[in-house]
């Protein structure tokens, strides 16, 4: 079975969070950048969750911005942005949450839960100040999603629109999920072994090469490496000189 990829919404959030790193001229990509991106996403599931919980989004956003301002900007631009170990931890936790929900994709809500549940994390502390924790988010999601599972990378935008999810037996059979015992074993193994991170690969800039890298790594393209002037080496697919690096988020 394949490890889960990110939904389109989650990919947008991760890409936007890197924009935020640039906006603050930080050199490290951290959990607070992702939380701010979640809060800033128009029509995103995070906004829906806060609405369901009756929490005003603006003061939460303000607190996260304050926290980000405390990290001093780097003196010059053009440096690579490095993910912190906390980011990896949150990806791992988000992948586990997707498993727990029996979702096939990692969505924004799994990132949000993972951030809220990060032990000792600054973002988790901010959320707790507003009374938001993992349990509250689960409760809100129950109302927003009902029994729907994420089986498609565009799932979040369909929560409200779709009829209640009905299991497609053919699809389940194809995925080998019909045997409950085997299914559970696989699930446990995947949760225990769920890992995630960022892969960067030299890239010529051609879309087909990007697709090939995405396929090869079984990940989700986040975009080009921000703040990077020139990548040395050759495209990892076609071997032409690389223009930049492509960033892929993946679980494994
Ligand atoms: Zn290429």
CATH code (residue 171): 1.10.1780.10
> Is the domain of 202 the same as that of 189?
no
- Nearest Cα residue to 114 out of 128, 101, 97, 131: 97
> Is the domain of 160 the same as that of 205?
no
> From the CA of 164, how far away is ligand 1's center (Å)?
42
> Is the domain of 205 the same as that of 190?
no
Task: List strand residue ranges (DSSP E) for the chain, in order.
Answer: 5-6, 28-29, 82-83, 105-106, 196-203, 220-224, 244-251
The one-character DSSP state at 155 is G
> From the CA of 95, how far away is ligand 1's center (Å)?
30
> From the CA of 199, how far away is ligand 1's center (Å)?
16
Q: What residues flank ion ligand 1 with Cβ within 5 A? A: 204, 206, 209, 235, 237-238
pLDDT of 155: 60
Last residue of a domain, one of 179, 194, 209: 194
pLDDT of 65: 97
> Is the domain of 137 the same as that of 120?
yes
> Is the domain of 246 the same as that of 178?
no
pLDDT of 110: 94
> Is the domain of 113 the same as that of 215?
no
CA atoms within 13 A on the CB side of 70: 8
> Is the domain of 107 the same as that of 210?
no
Q: State the residue range of the domain holding 14.
A: 5-194
pLDDT of 52: 94
> From the CA of 216, how far away is ligand 1's center (Å)?
13
Residue 228 has pLDDT above 90, yes or no: no
Residue 88 has pLDDT above 50, yes or no: yes
Total structural domains within the chain? 2
> Is the domain of 131 the same as that of 223?
no
> Is the domain of 132 the same as that of 199?
no
> Is the domain of 115 the same as that of 208?
no
> From the CA of 243, how far away is ligand 1's center (Å)?
9
> Is the domain of 185 the same as that of 234?
no
> Is the domain of 200 the same as that of 147?
no
Percent of the chain with pLDDT over 90: 30
For the full predicted model, state whether its pTM sits above 0.85.
Answer: no
What is the domain-level CATH number for residue 244?
3.30.110.30
């Amino acid at each position: 079975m394949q490890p889960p990829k990110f939904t389109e919404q989650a990919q947008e959030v991760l890409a936007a969070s890197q924009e935020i790193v640039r906006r603050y001229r930080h050199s490290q990509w951290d959990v607070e950048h992702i939380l701010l991106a979640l809060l800033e996403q128009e029509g995103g599931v995070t906004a829906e969750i806060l609405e369901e919980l009756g929490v005003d989004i603006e003061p939460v956003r303000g607190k996260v911005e304050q926290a980000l301002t405390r990290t001093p900007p780097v003196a010059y631009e053009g440096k690579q942005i490095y993910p912190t170990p906390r980011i990896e931890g949150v990806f791992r936790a988000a992948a586990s949450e997707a498993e727990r929900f029996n979702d096939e994709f990692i969505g924004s809500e799994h990132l949000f839960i993972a951030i809220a549940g990060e032990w000792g994390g600054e973002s988790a502390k901010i959320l707790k100040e507003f009374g938001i924790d993992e349990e509250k988010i689960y409760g809100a999601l129950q109302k927003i999603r009902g029994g729907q599972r994420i089986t498609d990378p565009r799932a979040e935008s369909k929560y409200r629109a779709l009829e209640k999810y009905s299991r497609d037996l053919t699809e389940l059979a194809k995925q080998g999920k019909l045997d409950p015992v085997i299914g559970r074993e696989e699930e446990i193994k995947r949760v225990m072994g769920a890992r995630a991170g960022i892969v960067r690969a030299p890239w010529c800039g051609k879309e087909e090469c990007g697709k090939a890298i995405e396929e090869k790594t079984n990940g989700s393209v986040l975009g080009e490496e921000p703040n990077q002037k020139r990548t040395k080496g050759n495209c990892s697919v076609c071997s032409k000189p690389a223009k930049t690096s492509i960033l892929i988020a993946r679980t494994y």
